[in-house]
Amino acid sequence: MTYALGIELGSTRIKAVLIDEKHTPVASGSHDWENRLENGIWIYHLDDVWAGIQDAYKNLAGDAKQNGAALSSVGAIGVSAMMHGYLVFDKDDKQLAPFRTWRNTVTARAAEALTEEFGFNIPQRWSVAHLYQSSLNGEEHVRDIAFITTLAGYVHWKLTGQKVIGIGDASGMFPIDGNDYNAAMMKSFDALTAQYPWKLADILPGVRVAGESAGVLTAEGAKLLDPSGEFRPGVPLCPPEGDAGTGMAATNSVAERTGNVSAGTSIFAMIVLEKRLSKVYPEIDMVTTPTGKHVAMVHCNNCTTDIDAWVKMFGELVDLDKTALYSLLYHKALEGEPDCGGLVNCNYCSGEHTTGFEEGRPLFARMPDSRLTLANLMRSQLYSTMATLKLGMDILTERENARLDRLLGHGGLFKIEGVAQRLMAGALNVPVAVMESAGEGGPWGMALLAAYMIRKEDGETLEDYLANRVFNENKSVCIAPDETDVSGFAAYIKRYKSALAVERSAVENLTRGDVYGAGGLKATGF
């Protein structure tokens, strides 16, 4: 049996999934972790990266052993992680600055300048925006940069010694043209940063497409993965990808007119386009599939963090395990009024570039005559996870007439069967399907990309491989929009848009505790 191993570093969990020759998961392991807010910046420590990977792999190996598969090697490995962000190293491989994640919204000046310079939307979370903002800030470390990469690119580099990256992940660092970075835009960027001794081409990772080899596991890399020494080096690795690319693979959404929604700590929709967009939209990222097809990406920083906090609070009232508690509260939302009875929730735990917020304040509001029930509260919470996404998707469907047959949903928001799926179908007014394999999500998608590298036949595209050899028997449940839900969400989103002015005031007036202690209020004269 030749296995393929996929590892994904998500926002709150690192997970490893082992699949067999039928692409069925046979073992898995995970490790919970969280980003940290230090000096106003969302970061992860690299020591935590390796502690988490090792724990996830150890748990996977134990699971595999219980299922009769003692691991000392596999056929192929793939690594994926959260896209974007800022990881920089000097010529001696020393980390030069804390790992600034996608969640940060502190690069507005750079993103705006680069978007104007390139005539191409550069979102705040993109690596090149962080790089240029560091330059604009006059940060001393910028002069010493010898390598900039993403989290997946970093882990892959340490496992293989190869400074390469999958094209999908690369497209969240710098614009892509064909199967490489856009040369004209690189030249423009070099002119903006001519004071430094490096050129952008010298510090970016090399670009690889799905199916290409991206190195082999070194002895040092094997020790990083499995400190026990049982796992042997020499295993081939496929190009490392971002979580957007693995989401596309995990939902068979790599062909034109397909799309998927990944919903966890953040939420984003990926729509594979038939043609380029007619203009630049700051709300829409242009990235690629793992094979380089053009993809419109609507990315929102905030999704489940706020609702998770509410569920945790309600858990203080009942003696239920986590899954049962989520199921109880999510299903309660289906009993709520279509428009949530006048309630509104803004789930901004961090900034939200789509609506122009550099910081967030979780906000729940109601009118005096709103109907405050548990069902309406939970429905408003679930609606808030997809409200900002709706604003971005309207650009594609209404202004650009992007055609979409259905969306495939995956990620933690969809774990409770039929709830968020139904509400999202109404919110976006498009059928939403969830596959049986969707619970495995990104790490399973990464394992599929690893399997494709070693099992593809000559001339077999990734689209054909997934359609004919992976998803040909995969069952899915598709829910069409319900007209009552569609009209109810339309009323809710109108209220939500109005509430953004309240959210703006909350950001400006509710401080992080610098006046009245922990959670204090900004002085207002009262």
Weakest-pLDDT range from 3-17, 226-240, 266-280, 424-438: 424-438
Could you give the CA distance from residue 245 to residue 179 in angstroms, rounded to a whole number? 15
Q: What is the DSSP string of 309-339?
A: HHHHHHTTTS---HHHHHHHHHHHHTTS-TT
Q: Rg for the chain (alpha carbons), in Å?
A: 22
- Give the single-character DSSP code of 404: -
CB count within 10 Å of CB 51 equals: 14
Nearest to 29 by CA among 440, 437, 446: 440
Region of 401 please: left (phi>0), alpha (psi -120 to 50) or beta.
left
| Confidence at residue 513, expressed as pLDDT on a 0 to 100 scale | 61
Cβ-based burial of 59 (10 A; exposed 0-12, middle 13-18, buried ≥19): middle
Q: What is the mean pLDDT of the chain?
A: 93
Could you give the CA distance from residue 269 to residue 65 in angstroms, rounded to a whole number? 37
Tell me the C-alpha to C-alpha distance, in Å, between residue 319 and each of 312, 331, 350, 358.
12, 18, 31, 38
Nearest to 263 by CA among 293, 314, 301: 301
Looking at the chain, the whole-number percentage of residues with pLDDT higher than 90 is 81
Could you give the CA distance from residue 391 to residue 444 in angstroms, rounded to a whole number? 30
| Confidence at residue 275, expressed as pLDDT on a 0 to 100 scale | 85
Give strand pairing partners of 118.
Answer: none
Could you give the CA distance from residue 502 to residue 397 in angstroms, rounded to a whole number? 28
Give strand pairing partners of 148.
Answer: 88
- Give the single-character DSSP code of 413: G
The first and second tokens of residue 503, run together, are 């959210």
In this prediction the pTM is 0.80
The first and second tokens of residue 102, run together, are 């996608």
- What would the mean pLDDT of 106-119 be, rounded to a whole number? 96
Neighbouring C-alpha atoms within 13 Å toward the C-beta of 17: 27
Between strands 344-346 and 285-288, the pairing is: unpaired
Could you give the CA distance from residue 331 to residue 379 in angstroms, rounded to a whole number? 9
| Confidence at residue 482, expressed as pLDDT on a 0 to 100 scale | 97
| Structural domains of the chain ordered from first start | 4-239 (3.30.420.40), 254-443+475-526 (3.30.420.40)
The first and second tokens of residue 249, run together, are 């693979």
| Confidence at residue 1, expressed as pLDDT on a 0 to 100 scale | 72
Nearest to 269 by CA among 249, 248, 290: 248
Residue-wise pLDDT tens digits, 205-256? 999 999 999 999 999 999 999 999 999 999 999 999 999 899 899 889 998 8
Task: Of 50-64, 463-477, 506-520, give the range with the top mean pLDDT.
Answer: 50-64
**331-347 residues labelled b (16+ CB within 10 A) or e (exposed):** ebbeebbbbbbbbbbbb
Residue 450, pLDDT > 80, answer yes
Neighbouring C-alpha atoms within 13 Å toward the C-beta of 346: 27
The first and second tokens of residue 293, run together, are 């097809």
Looking at the chain, the whole-number percentage of residues with pLDDT higher than 70 is 96
Work out the angle between the directed axes of helices 305-314 and 374-394 (0-180°, nearest 10).
Answer: 170
| Confidence at residue 331, expressed as pLDDT on a 0 to 100 scale | 98
Tell me the C-alpha to C-alpha distance, in Å, between residue 523 and each of 99, 360, 501.
34, 19, 20
Let me know: does 142 contact 97? Beta carbons within 8 Å.
Answer: no
Let me know: does 389 contact 397? Beta carbons within 8 Å.
Answer: no
The span from the first CA to the last CA of the chain, in angstroms, equals: 71
Could you give the CA distance from residue 49 to residue 33 in angstroms, rounded to a whole number? 9
Could you give the CA distance from residue 224 to residue 63 in angstroms, rounded to a whole number? 20
Residue-wise pLDDT tens digits, 310-319? 999 999 999 9
Nearest to 276 by CA among 367, 177, 136, 195: 177
Tokens 């961090």 belong to residue: 350
Type of residue at 431? P
Residue 412, pLDDT > 50, answer yes
Mapped onto helix, strand or coil, the DSSP state of residue 92 is coil
Q: Please provide the size of the chain in residues.
A: 526
Residue 187, pLDDT > 80, answer yes
Between strands 36-38 and 147-149, the pairing is: unpaired
Residue 384, pLDDT > 90, answer yes
